[in-house]
A and B are shown apart, each in its own frame.
Chain A
Amino acid sequence: AQSVSQHNHHVILSEAASLELGCNYSYGGTVNLFWYVQYPGQHLQLLLKYFSGDPLVKGIKGFEAEFIKSKFSFNLRKPSVQWSDTAEYFCAVNALWTNAGKSTFGDGTTLTVKP
């Protein structure tokens, strides 16, 4: 079974600081990878996803993530955060061909951006 580890439970940044949230997964086969975001009072929504091809994927609101297969990692980055990025972020993995499209989620990282 696959598992996902998000190393930072709570990150606090000032506006304009750069962001990197770590995500590692354990599964030896082919995977699809996702980042979801939950803004205060809103429901979870897809931020970006990786299926194949270019390991650097870009999502909404200036976020990007890089898939490094050798490190089993899919870290989320943003060069300059805004107060409106305050939210909880979840990394998720689908192990292809074995699990009916079920996603395994990390425990989440709460990002607080100070104005």
Chain B
Amino acid sequence: DGGITQSPKYLFRKEGQNVTLSCEQNLNHDAMYWYRQDPGQGLRLIYYSQIVNDFQKGDIAEGYSVSREKKESFPLTVTSAQKNPTAFYLCASRPGQGETGNYGYTFGSGTRLTVV
């Protein structure tokens, strides 16, 4: 079945470490997104990519970085510059390029990151 795979499911980071969250999709979707979910705050957009080798900052990009070298992969790195990284991270994708937005997202199962 097609879908989005996020790994790991749980991740623990020490202060000052960079960690990378994996997001892989086999849906042949062009656009991919990273959201952060905090309790009671809904989902906030970190980064997004509409096409390979291109990505844009979302609303809360500081302290994060991404790459989009392959259509199916959109890894997120949480750097030591992110002051409050403990959260639930969701990767999403949708088909099509451009700004139609006519498709809903397909989500992965998420990665819960905890700073220890």
Residues of A in contact with B (beta carbons under 8 Å apart): 4, 9, 32, 34, 36, 42-46, 49, 51, 90, 94-108
Contact = CB atoms under 8 A, between A and B. Distances in A.
Contact of A96 (B41, B56, B94, B101): B101
Contacts of A42: 109
A107 B40 contact: yes
B101 A108 contact: no
Of B33, B41, B96, B100, the most chain A CB neighbours within 10 A belong to B100
Given A46-B105, A107-B41, 10 more contacts: A32-B102, A36-B104, A99-B101, A100-B98, A100-B99, A101-B31, A101-B96, A102-B45, A102-B58, A103-B33
Contacts of B31: 100-101
Contact of B99 (A9, A46, A51, A96): A96
Contact of A106 (B42, B58, B94, B101): B42
Nearest to A52: B102
B66 interface: no
B42 A105 contact: yes
B45 A9 contact: no
A38 B75 CA distance: 23
B64 interface: no
A90 B105 contact: no
B102 A46 contact: no
A108 B44 CA distance: 12
Nearest to A30: B101
A32 B94 CA distance: 14
Contacts of A104: 45
B90 interface: yes
B34 to A, nearest CB: 11
Given A43-B107, A45-B107, A100-B50, A94 B42 contact: no
Given A44-B90, A101-B31, A51 B102 contact: yes
Of B31, B35, B96, B104, the most chain A CB neighbours within 10 A belong to B104
B45 A96 contact: no
B43 interface: yes
